[in-house]
């Protein structure tokens, strides 16, 4: 898992934050500085994974980001050209006995052939990542807010919200991965801290992975 190697209890701020969480106080889980440039896809060796010590620091409501192994992952990461190249994200639900990741994904890229909000075991989500690409962030907010984000994610899963192929932010009838995160954070905090960025194609107000 690639982040700055810091203890969870440290008050230091994380500079690798999801979407506009860079504008909020937030803490890093453990990790290491990425070794690759934003546009240089690492070789497709073994997927990244979380060590037992890293898993022990996870909590419900944490966000996990990855650089997918599919060709689309390289396209997304290269097009966004962000400091930490990633192509997908989700929210952790559950506990140390068995974390899962709720995320929004196109059906053609989903192991479950589910088009929209879906859930995968944490190990399965990590198995789809490129080497040295996983990032984990936590919103520094009351635990009740993080639990509320997880509960809302479960509600989207229950509703089987489809993937947002039009990348519209007007409502939550369909969601893409960072749109899901945006809705969870804004609902929990009552504020919209998120920046907008133009899509690689078209003129939509796309929500990027970092601010």
Average pLDDT over residues 74-91: 70
**Residue among 97, 89, 82, 84 nearest 68 (CA):** 89
Predicted confidence band of residue 7 (pLDDT cuts 50, 70, 90): very low
CA dihedral 125, 128, 133, 135 (to 10 degrees): -10
Token match 């939509």: residue? 204
| pLDDT band at residue 90 using 50, 70 and 90 as cut-offs | very high
For the stretch 107-115, contacts whose Cβ atoms lie closer than 8 Å and that sit 24 or more positions apart, written own/partner, are 107/163, 109/68, 109/70, 109/72, 115/162, 115/163
pLDDT of 184 > 70? The answer is yes
Sheet holding 116-121, edge to edge: 26-28, 135-139, 63-66, 88-93, 100-105, 116-121
- pLDDT class for 156, splitting at 50, 70, 90? very high
At residue 6, the pLDDT reads 28
Structural tokens at position 117: 């909000």
How many CA within 13 A on the CB side of residue 115?
8
| pLDDT for position 203 | 64
How far is the C-alpha of 163 from the C-alpha of 138, rounded, in Å?
24
């Amino acid at each position: 898992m690639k982040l700055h190697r810091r203890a969870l209890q440290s008050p230091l701020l994380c500079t690798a934050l999801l979407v506009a969480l860079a504008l909020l106080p937030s803490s890093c889980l453990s990790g290491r500085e990425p070794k690759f440039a934003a546009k240089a896809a690492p070789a497709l060796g073994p997927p990244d994974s979380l060590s037992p010590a890293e898993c022990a620091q996870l909590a419900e409501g944490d966000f996990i980001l990855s650089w997918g192994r599919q060709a689309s992952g390289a396209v997304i990461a290269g097009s966004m050209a962000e400091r930490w190249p990633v192509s997908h994200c989700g929210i952790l639900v559950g506990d140390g006995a068995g974390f899962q990741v709720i995320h929004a994904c196109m059906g053609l890229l989903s192991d479950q052939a589910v088009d929209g909000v879906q859930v995968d075991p944490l190990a399965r989500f990590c198995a789809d990542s490129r080497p040295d690409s996983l990032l984990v962030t936590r919103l520094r907010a009351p635990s009740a807010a993080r639990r509320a984000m997880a509960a809302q994610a479960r509600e989207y899963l229950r509703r089987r919200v489809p993937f947002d192929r039009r990348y519209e932010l007007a409502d939550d009838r369909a969601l893409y991965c960072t749109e899901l995160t945006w809705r969870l954070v804004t609902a929990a905090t009552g504020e919209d801290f998120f920046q907008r960025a133009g899509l690689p194609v078209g003129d939509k107000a796309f929500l990027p992975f970092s601010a």
